[in-house]
Amino acid sequence: MEYFAHPTAIIDEGCTIGSGTKIWHFSHIMIGATLGERCNIGQNVVVSPEVILGNNVKVQNNVSIYTGVTCEDDVFLGPSCVFTNVTNPRSAVNRKDQYAKTIVGKGASIGANSTIVCGHNIGEYAFIGAGAVVTKTIPPYALVVGNPAKQIGWMSEYGHKLHFNEDNIAVCPESGQEYKLKDNRVTRIK
């Protein structure tokens, strides 16, 4: 199992790091973290104990991924985004036994400076706009922006806004993949 770690990165013993993963300057991968194959961990990233990153996860600079977070394959975490793991933190109160879990679905993108409040999952291929504050579960393919984050549309697996016709069908302009909107849910049909 070969991976690259910059000499300034700190890799605690007891981590699992997949082949082809790169860990850059001043990042800290803590005990019990699991990183899949071909991940890219930018500068000054913290991956806390028991965090799980799937294959091909891209983590940009200054991201904090705290215990309780799982990112499935092909997730993109934009610069300076942050996850939380306690809903009511207090310095003087130890709540390590109350960490809430957050799952980021396959192919989802989280924009720069976004905050994901714990306990709210992000659906596969969802797109969280820069600076958004996610305070509820986000469905697959949803496009959300703002504080608190509100859904303003749907995105393709290639990251293009979907425009549905009268039959509730949309086509990604880049991939040609077709999507169906039914009962306020999007599925890829072709």
Q: Looking at the predicted structure, is the pLDDT value of residue 1 above 90?
A: no
Residues 61 and 86 in one domain: yes
Residues 24 and 61 in one domain: yes
Residues 112 and 190 in one domain: no
Which strand ranges, in their side-by-side order, compose the sheet holding 40-41?
A: 4-5, 22-23, 40-41, 58-59, 76-77, 109-110, 127-128, 142-145, 150-154
Q: How many CB atoms lie within 10 A of CB 96?
A: 8
Residues 3 and 60 in one domain: yes
Domain span including residue 184: 163-190
CATH of residue 5: 2.160.10.10
Residues 63 and 116 in one domain: yes
Give percent of the chain with pLDDT exceeding 90.
Answer: 98
User: In the prediction, which pLDDT does 105 show?
Assistant: 98
Residues 32 and 118 in one domain: yes
Residues 127 and 188 in one domain: no
Q: What φ, ψ does residue 96 adopt, rounded to 5°?
A: -60, -25
Residues 141 and 102 in one domain: yes
User: In the prediction, which pLDDT does 190 show?
Assistant: 78
Look-up of token digits 């207090």: 90
- Pair type for strands 102-104 and 69-71: parallel
Residues 111 and 189 in one domain: no
pLDDT tens digits, one per residue of 26-52: 999 999 999 999 999 999 999 999 999
Residues 167 and 151 in one domain: no
